[in-house]
Amino acid sequence: MEHMCEICTMRILVVAATNFEIQSFTADNKHIEILITGVGIPAVMYHLQKKLLQNSFELVIQAGIAGTFTDQIALGEVVLVKQDTFADIGMEEKERFTSIFQSGFADKDAFPFRDGWLNNHSSIFDNSLLSAVKAITVNKVSDSTLQKQQAIKAFAPEIESMEGAALHYICLQENIPFVQLRSVSNLIGERDKSKWKLKEAISNLEKELRILIETVTK
């Protein structure tokens, strides 16, 4: 059943890979329409595109956790993603990764890309106190030092997720306003969950998600 936002006239879709990431928000906001896509790029591509073909939304918000490449972003901190890209489409030869754009197999400025990036020019960034960051999206996370260094050299990213660029790609193609909200739970490459700040990241994510919705619906 379709749910319309009862606190505003704006119709918003909140997207998450798993219900685990926004469980408290979902329970407390029955009037906001939620889409749980599943983890990874293919799941987001299918389920979000299908949802947008069947419904009309004025804003799509993707909320989820992420890993960070830099100690300049604190574990548990929530950020907005200004630009994202698919970081594992390309070639790996002799431990060197070359993106599909760097290799010449794709035009780095073919819409919706600009210089190989999927950029979000939403005015939401102008009114938010959250940091705007550069992200990459991959289908596989790992503890590989080589993979981490390849990503840093090729993209100089600040955070990494498994779904973000799919959101950017679809919404830019369909000309639908969107924002990607991420809370950092861990350092990239750290697979020891005892060192993650998962509980804090989810709590802060849900808090900032509520604030974001309140802000855009005033």
Residue 160 maps to which CATH number?
3.40.50.1580
In the prediction, which pLDDT does 4 show? 38
Share of the chain above pLDDT 70, in %: 96
| Position 6 pLDDT exceeds 50 | no
- Structure-token match 């802060």, residue found: 204
| Residue 121: predicted pLDDT | 93
Q: What is the mean pLDDT of residues 92-114?
A: 90
**Contact in structure between 137 and 165 (CB atoms under 8 Å):** yes
Q: Please give the pLDDT value at position 30.
A: 79
pLDDT (average), residues 45-72: 95
Band of the pLDDT at 5, cuts 50, 70, 90?
Answer: very low
Domain count for the chain, please give it: 1
165 within a domain of the structure (yes/no): yes
In a domain, 5, yes or no: no
- Does any domain span residue 6? no
pLDDT on residue 206: 95
Domain of residue 150 covers: 12-216
Above 50 in pLDDT, residue 32?
A: yes
Residue 7 has pLDDT above 60, yes or no: no
C-alpha to C-alpha distance for 72 and 99, rounded to whole angstroms: 26
Which helix (H) or strand (E) segment is 63 a member of? strand 59-68
Query: Is 3 within the bounds of a domain?
Result: no
Kindly report the average pLDDT of the chain as a whole number.
91
Q: Give the pLDDT band of residue 62 (cuts 50, 70, 90).
A: very high
Q: Is 35 inside a domain boundary?
A: yes
Does 19 score more than 50 pLDDT?
yes
At position 133, the amino acid (one-letter code) is: V
State residue 2's pLDDT score. 39
**SS3 assignment, position 179:** strand
> 214 — alpha (psi -120 to 50), left (phi > 0) or beta?
alpha
The answer as to whether 4 is a domain residue is no
Has residue 7 been placed in a domain? no
**pLDDT bracket for residue 207 (50, 70, 90):** very high
